[in-house]
């Protein structure tokens, strides 16, 4: 089976797919799509992903979009080591978590991540070049949101609210993990995989205190996820060290501003 993943490193949706592929031990190639220079808006990419979103998973020449659906597909491609719980009640719980990610957590995510992952590259470009890239976005609301994040960083509307949403999801995870070892019961599942990239990114941004403080069950879950053999004994080993160092520095700077906004 030929598998190719179009991804942007540290994009939680793309990392979610990488974690599922790693759990299954499936070999795949990666093609990084630079969201900072809008490589996702080329006609070739839009033909696969009409909204210009990564990830896209190409399996034997057929392209699939939407990370939650892609992860279910990966689980079906390789039925060994199932990533869906065997009990129907646990499968329903798993899907409540993936739905929460798709409908609540991920839509809030750009408020935390864009100022760190994309804004610095845009600030290094002439403003006209950034406006040209923004003009290529088809959705006016997405264009306006990205423009505000470019101009205002964590002061843009939505950034502080994103932290509040993330914090609320962490509370829900902690409550669940006090009662069961994994989010959808006794076995590691697509629910854990759906949430893990967000916690990893926050960790990589040097903001781990945001989800660990006062949440011992969540902190323990994160350590157990990180130690899973599929991730090479540490999720950091799946990333470029220089890029991790850079996002940690940017994340710590952003956090100073977010913390100031939270206090006011
Ligand atoms: N619902 C989609 C969301 C994908 C998505 O938001 N991808 C982001 C990166 S995490 C993206 O490609 N953003 C590019 C842009 O907004 O220009 C999924 O789960 O795959």
What residue segments make up the domains of the chain, in order of their start? 3-77, 88-263
Which CATH homologous superfamily contains domain 3-77? Answer: Glutaredoxin (3.40.30.10)
Question: 76 CB contacts (<8 Å, ≥6 apart)?
Answer: none
pLDDT at 78 over 70: yes
CB 219 within 8 A of CB 173: no
**CA angle, 163 as apex, 159 and 169 as ends, to 5°?**
140
**Closest to 85 (Cα-Cα) out of 193, 170, 198, 216:** 193
pLDDT at 26 over 90: yes
Q: 67: buried, middle or exposed (CB in 10 Å: 19+, 13-18, 0-12)?
A: buried
pLDDT band of residue 264 (cuts 50, 70, 90) is low
Is the sign of the CA dihedral 41, 145, 37, 252 positive or negative? negative
Each residue of 130-161: pLDDT tens digit? Answer: 999 999 888 999 899 899 989 998 888 788 88
Structurally, what CATH architecture does the domain formed by 88-263 represent?
Answer: Up-down Bundle (1.20)
Point out the least confidently predicted range of 94-103, 195-204, 209-218, 244-253. 209-218
pTM: 0.94
pLDDT at 203 over 90: yes
CB 28 within 8 A of CB 4: yes
pLDDT at 228 over 80: yes
pLDDT of res. 81? 92
Atom of ligand 1 nearest to the CA of 137: 17
Whether 3-77 shares its CATH topology with 88-263 is answered no
Atom of ligand 1 nearest to the CA of 16: 19
pLDDT band of residue 92 (cuts 50, 70, 90) is very high
CA 199 – CA 217 distance, rounded (Å): 13
CA 102 – CA 39 distance, rounded (Å): 23
pLDDT of res. 263? 72
pLDDT at 222 over 90: yes
User: CA–CA distance from 24 to each of 55, 189, 229, 255 (Å)?
Assistant: 18, 12, 11, 35
The mean per-residue pLDDT over the stretch 103-131 comes to 90
In percent, the amount of the chain with pLDDT more than 90 equals: 73
Average pLDDT, the chain: 93
pLDDT at 209 over 90: no
* Torsions phi, psi for 213 (to 5 deg): -55, 130
pLDDT of res. 107? 93
pLDDT band of residue 211 (cuts 50, 70, 90) is confident
Residue nearest to atom 13 of ligand 1 (CA): 53
* Torsions phi, psi for 204 (to 5 deg): -65, -30
User: CA–CA distance from 76 to each of 72, 81, 204 (Å)?
Assistant: 6, 10, 31
Residue nearest to atom 20 of ligand 1 (CA): 66
Each residue of 167-186: pLDDT tens digit? Answer: 999 999 999 999 999 999 99
CA 14 – CA 53 distance, rounded (Å): 10
Which protein residues touch ligand 1 with a CB less than 6 Å away?
8, 11-13, 35, 40, 52-55, 66-68, 102, 142
Atom of ligand 1 nearest to the CA of 66: 20
Point out the least confidently predicted range of 50-54, 153-157, 190-194. 153-157
């Amino acid at each position: 089976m030929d598998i190719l993943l179009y991804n942007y490193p540290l994009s939680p949706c793309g990392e979610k797919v990488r974690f599922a592929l790693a759990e299954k031990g499936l070999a795949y190639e990666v093609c990084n799509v630079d969201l900072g220079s809008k490589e996702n808006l080329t006609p070739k990419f839009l033909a696969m992903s009409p909204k210009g979103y990564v990830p896209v998973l190409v399996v034997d020449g057929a392209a699939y979009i939407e990370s939650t659906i892609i992860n279910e597909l990966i689980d079906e491609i390789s039925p060994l080591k199932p990533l869906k719980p065997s009990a129907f009640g646990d499968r329903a719980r798993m899907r409540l978590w993936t739905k929460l990610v798709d409908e609540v957590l991920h839509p809030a995510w750009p408020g935390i991540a864009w100022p760190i992952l994309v804004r610095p590259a845009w600030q290094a470009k002439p403003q006209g070049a950034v406006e040209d890239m923004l003009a290529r976005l088809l959705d006016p609301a997405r264009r306006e949101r990205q423009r505000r994040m470019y101009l205002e960083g964590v002061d843009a509307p939505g950034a502080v609210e994103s932290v509040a949403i993330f914090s609320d999801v962490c509370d829900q995870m902690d409550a669940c993990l006090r009662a069961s070892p994994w989010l959808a019961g006794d076995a590691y599942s697509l629910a854990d995989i759906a949430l893990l990239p967000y916690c990893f990114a926050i960790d990589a941004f040097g903001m781990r205190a945001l989800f660990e403080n006062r949440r011992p069950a969540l902190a323990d879950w994160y350590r157990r996820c990180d130690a899973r053999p599929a991730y090479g004994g540490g999720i950091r080993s799946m990333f470029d060290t220089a890029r991790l160092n850079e996002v940690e520095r940017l994340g710590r700077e952003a956090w100073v501003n977010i913390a100031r906004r939270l206090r006011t």
